[in-house]
Structure 1
Amino acid sequence: MFYKPYGEYTIGDTWTSFGRTITESDVVSFAGLSGDFFSLHMDEEYARTTQFGRRIAHGMLVLSISTGLLHFEPGVIAAFYGIDHLRFTTPTFIGDTIHVEETVIDVQDRGERQGVVTTKHNILKQTGETVIRAEFKLLLNRA
């Protein structure tokens, strides 16, 4: 989505990513990198006793993977500007396939050379359920 310079986005522009399946290896690797070994993610026996009935992927893992599904063009992106209204709405299980749907909801000039594009960032799984929703803000360079 973020391959055009600032000034070429209008409110309502949309983009959909390709899919990516969340794997056991993703969950274990993320636990090792983040230090988040919470039982709901790592302990199948414990997870069976929860409302989810099985292990779930870390919400922050799914959010992180979603950024890898976006198209970031070098030279266009000046900086990641922030995330607002982040919500983890439905669990993502090992084996679920996620994709991202982006919709531009705001554009704001930041001087002559840059601007901030805000998108509604929805991560959905193969069932059509939204697993994470947020507003992403990116500082983009003009052409």
Structure 2
Amino acid sequence: MEQPRYFDDHVLGEVRKTNGRTITETDFVVHAGHTGDFFPHHMDAEAMKESPWGQRIAHGTMTFAIGIGLTASVINPLSFTYGYERLRFPKPVFIGDTIHTELTITGLEPDPKRPDHGRIIEQVRVLNQRGETVLACDHIYLVQRKIAG
């Protein structure tokens, strides 16, 4: 188990990358069942043959859930998610694509509500096997300071 990391231990520009995960038809079906989103773009293979994509495209919410879930490889008891901003899906994800997530710390700032915590902003990029960005957002999380700022 890794040591807990305080806000003060993080460095601007720090990068981490996750392992990959291949998206399956089962992912589409399970996600549709969980969310109730059975939109034809995700579930109707025949209809999507005539679309600009030529096949079904993944739910954006599924891409988000899996892409962010891949980042949960280390538990830091000193931090928790505050939220996500500027979420975009610039390219579709298809069955058979393998995605991974790359995170870069782009901001370290005080938290105005909690002087004993700082805010870390991570640029999140989920990429497919061709290196194309399929999801982009900013992750803001709060991390305990060693010394209250």
Structure-2-length-normalised TM-score: 0.88
Contact 1:75 1:141 survives alignment (8 Å): no
Q: Is the 8 A contact 2:79 2:144 kept in 1?
A: yes
Query: Where in structure 2 are there 5+ consecutive unaligned residues?
Result: none
1:11 aligned residue: 12
SS of the aligned residue for 1:7 comes to helix
Unaligned 5+ segments in structure 1 are none
The size of the alignment, in residue pairs, is 140
Secondary structure, counterpart of 2:53 in structure 1? coil
Do the aligned partners of 1:22 and 1:95 also contact (CA within 8 Å) in 2? yes
User: What is the aligned partner in structure 1 of residue 91 from structure 2?
Assistant: 90
- 2-side partners of 1:72 and 1:38: how far apart? 34
The 5 A counterparts of 1:119-130 are 119-130=122-133
Give the drift of 1:142. 3.1
Question: Which shows bigger deviation, 37-46 or 103-112?
Answer: 103-112
Q: Which residue of 2 aligns with 1:135?
A: 138
Which protein is bigger by CA-based radius of gyration? 2
**2:108 corresponds to which residue?**
107
- Please give the alpha-carbon distance, in whole angstroms, between the structure 2 residues aligned to 1:130 and 1:66: 11
Deviation (angstroms), 1:112:
3.8
Identity %: 37
Alpha-carbon distance, 1:74 to partner: 4.3
- Residues 5 and 76 of structure 2 are in contact (CA less than 8 Å); yes or no, is this contact kept in structure 1? no
